Amino acid sequence: MRWNLAPKQNLETVTHLSQALGIDPLLSSLLAQRGITTFDQAKRFFRPSLEELHDPFLMQDMDLAVKRIQEAIKAQENILVYGDYDVDGTTSVALLSSYLKSYYPKVATYIPDRYAEGYGVSYKGIDYAQDNDITLIIALDCGIKAIEKVAYASKKGIDFIICDHHRPGAKLPKAVAVLDPKRDDCSYPYKELCGCGVGFKLIQALGSKRGQTIEDLLLYLDLVATAIGADIVPVTGENRVLAYYGLKVINSNPRVGYQAILKQVNKTTLTITDVVFIIAPRINAAGRMKHGNHAVSLLVETDPQSAAQWASEIELFNADRKDADKQITKEALVQITQASEQENSTTVVYKEHWHKGVIGIVASRLIETYYRPTLVFTKSGDKLAASARSVKGFDVYNALEGCAQYIEQFGGHKYAAGLTLQEKDYPDFKAQFEKVVSQTIDPKLLSPEINIDAQLDLVDITPKFHRILKQFAPFGPGNRQPVFMTQNLKDTGYGKCVGADKTHLRLTVKQVNSSAIVGIGFGLGDKKDTACANTPFKAVYCIDENQWQGNVSLQLRIKDIQPS
């Protein structure tokens, strides 16, 4: 791994902030790195305010969307809330449908089947709407490229409102309203909302017409915070405010479905990281292994007994997902080795029996071994479907555009995308993808890097220091958990490999004149010889709390180790 230490911040700015806030200069330096250089900016950062949320009517077409929904309710039309099968889609559907149902009963929900229908708006979903006399579909977290589908619905007398956050194509669908802050003609001040965030802006707009304030809508922010964490959108600006208050809801008044999940894992207070690694995978597992409807049912359930039943089913789906993920990753690694493609700029693998629901996770796993843009294909009907994942700094969406002649359909983000193609085009696509990436990627992006915020001595890790550091949360892209580097560490003799397969490293380290502190390095078992050789080493880490049998202590979550 490449270690990149952040440059020192302006001394005058750091000193001024440190005095104004009464905090350690190192903490002031971390704020300055995040563009926070004044007392007022720091106050907004540490105490996000609901007043910072933008007026939803600044979003292009918001007035049209609200007007059409109001008309539908007045005319007693049937409304269908339609969303994708991942966390962002299912939380969006749960959010908007439960809000509308709180004052209007004729609302149905629809999640496409990952296998029978695939990603986004489907013809089958539109036919379902027609069969059930539905005249308005509100699509969330999808639809921005559904030009033919929206036209098909229009011929059947069905209107569309689209709430999306993906990049639009050259043309927009001819929907009644297209809400997407990434539209070129949309002047909404914050561009990085997730799909559920766009859905929340819609209920904020609807609520304002009904005399509701933002406080009346706070109970929906648990869903928004979950989607922000799971969809890996920047935790900056408006997203930071939404995530901050959403976490408060999760930790003080969680919905019944969340309570059911948390009972199974015996967890109470959650950070955004816990949401990403505990709640999100379980919501996702429903759509991956069975059907996204199960997730929506859990999220909108108000009866604890029924919620416990849904949660228990989803727990089984999650266990199946883990097994499939493990097995496919193993097979994919063998395939890469046998094809002697370790030196390529890309990883592209395919087996027709691989479970479509986990190929995205497998792509992420392969990047952990071979750090490069990765595609995992499987058979889906008479076509091949793939999930793409990228490395930091490389836009895989743009790379796929360079292979468009072989692709039937694709969509996504800079770092994650999905696509389908004909099986006969797979070899040509694979060659073209390798060509495009190898010609456009900066070679240094093919080795992982760790960005280090600051050097730190162990004596500086005090309870007060950590108490303020915790207030930098919620963490995520744009506001990563601070990463530190400490030199001249020595293991105190208790270092050992831990875990079922001994792949993790547990150390108890100290510096001269410091107390000992425990460090855990996940997947760093191979660094034991460096750390336990009775010679000084340096480590990169985050500072975490370890809770064990009611006791809370600080520990280092080690990311990498090198000789000093």
Amino acid type, 455? Q
> How many angstroms separate the CA atoms of 196 and 246, rounded?
12
Q: What token pair was written down for 355? A: 């479970």
pLDDT recorded at residue 73: 98
Residue pLDDT, tens place only, 222-249: 999 999 999 889 999 999 999 999 999 9
Q: Answer whether residue 461 shows pLDDT above 90.
A: yes
Query: 460: number of CA atoms within 13 Å, CB side?
Result: 15
Q: Are 345 and 438 in contact (CB under 8 A)?
A: yes
Name residue, tokens 């006791």. Answer: 551
pLDDT class of 206 with cuts at 50, 70, 90: very high
Q: What token pair was written down for 434? A: 């390798």
Mean per-residue pLDDT for 343-360? 93
Residue pLDDT, tens place only, 158-180: 999 999 999 898 999 999 999 99
CATH of 450-563, one of 3.30.1490.100, 2.60.40.10, 2.40.50.460, 3.10.580.10: 2.40.50.460
Residue pLDDT, tens place only, 391-424: 999 999 999 999 999 999 888 778 889 999 999 9
Mean per-residue pLDDT for 184-206? 97
Whether omega before 474 lies within 30 degrees of 0, making that bond cis, reads: yes
CATH number 3.30.360.10 is the correct assignment for the domain at 339-446: no
Q: Over pLDDT 70: what percentage of the chain? A: 100
The pTM of the whole model exceeds 0.85: yes
Mean per-residue pLDDT for 54-64? 98
pLDDT recorded at residue 57: 98
> How many angstroms separate the CA atoms of 484 and 461, rounded?
11
pLDDT recorded at residue 456: 95
pLDDT recorded at residue 386: 95
Q: What token pair was written down for 21? A: 């806030």
List the one residue out of 228, 220, 230 whose CA is nearest residue 250: 220
Q: Could you tell me which residues come within 8 angstroms of residue 368 by beta carbon, excluding any fewer than 6 positions away? A: 523
Q: Answer whether residue 486 shows pLDDT above 90.
A: yes
> How many angstroms separate the CA atoms of 288 and 282, rounded?
10
> Mean pLDDT, the chain, as a whole number?
94
Please state whether 512 falls in left (phi above 0), alpha (psi between -120 and 50) or beta.
Answer: beta
pLDDT recorded at residue 185: 96
Q: Do 56-213 and 339-446 agree at the fold level? A: no
Mean per-residue pLDDT for 319-337? 93
Mean per-residue pLDDT for 290-304? 93
Q: What token pair was written down for 165? A: 């956050």
Q: Answer whether residue 197 shows pLDDT above 90.
A: yes
List the one residue out of 94, 415, 125 whose CA is nearest residue 227: 94
Question: Treating both helix axes as pointing N-terminal to C-terminal, what angle do 359-369 and 304-338 enclose, rounded to 10 degrees?
Answer: 50
> How many angstroms separate the CA atoms of 376 and 372, rounded?
13
pLDDT recorded at residue 118: 80
pLDDT recorded at residue 287: 86
Q: Which of 39-43, 59-63, 112-116, 133-137 has the lowest mean pLDDT?
A: 112-116
Mean per-residue pLDDT for 336-344? 84
> How many angstroms separate the CA atoms of 24 and 310, rounded?
47
pLDDT recorded at residue 237: 93
User: 247-277 in b/e burial notation, b at 16+ Cβ within 10 A?
Assistant: bebbeeebbbbbebbbeeeeeeebbbbbbbe
Mean per-residue pLDDT for 255-279? 89
Q: Answer whether residue 268 shows pLDDT above 80.
A: no
Q: What token pair was written down for 162? A: 């689209």
pLDDT class of 267 with cuts at 50, 70, 90: confident
Q: Are 140 and 112 in contact (CB under 8 A)?
A: no
pLDDT recorded at residue 135: 98
Q: DSSP of 277-325, one letter per residue?
A: IIIHHHHHHIIIII-THHHHHHHH---HHHHHHHHHHHHHHHHHHHHHH
Nearest-5° Cα angle at 148, 144 to 150 = 65
Please state whether 376 falls in left (phi above 0), alpha (psi between -120 and 50) or beta.
Answer: beta
Residue pLDDT, tens place only, 463-481: 899 999 999 999 998 999 9
pLDDT recorded at residue 460: 94
List the one residue out of 531, 393, 506 whose CA is nearest residue 449: 393
pLDDT recorded at residue 306: 95
Q: Could you tell me which residues come within 8 angstroms of residue 204 by beta carbon, excluding any fewer than 6 positions away? A: 53, 56, 214, 217
CATH number 3.90.1640.30 is the correct assignment for the domain at 56-213: yes
Residue pLDDT, tens place only, 505-557: 999 999 998 999 999 999 999 999 999 998 999 999 999 988 777 788 899 99
Mean per-residue pLDDT for 48-73? 97
Count other Cβ atoms within 10 Å, centred on residue 326. 13
pLDDT recorded at residue 342: 76
pLDDT class of 107 with cuts at 50, 70, 90: very high
Q: Could you tell me which residues come within 8 angstroms of residue 222 by beta carbon, excluding any fewer than 6 positions away? A: 246, 249, 250, 254, 255, 258
Q: Where are the domains of the chain?
A: 56-213, 339-446, 450-563
* DSSP conformation class of 348: E
Amino acid type, 374? T
Residue pLDDT, tens place only, 363-393: 999 999 999 999 999 998 899 999 999 999 9
Q: Answer whether residue 1 shows pLDDT above 80.
A: yes
pLDDT recorded at residue 169: 87
Q: What token pair was written down for 321? A: 């997902």
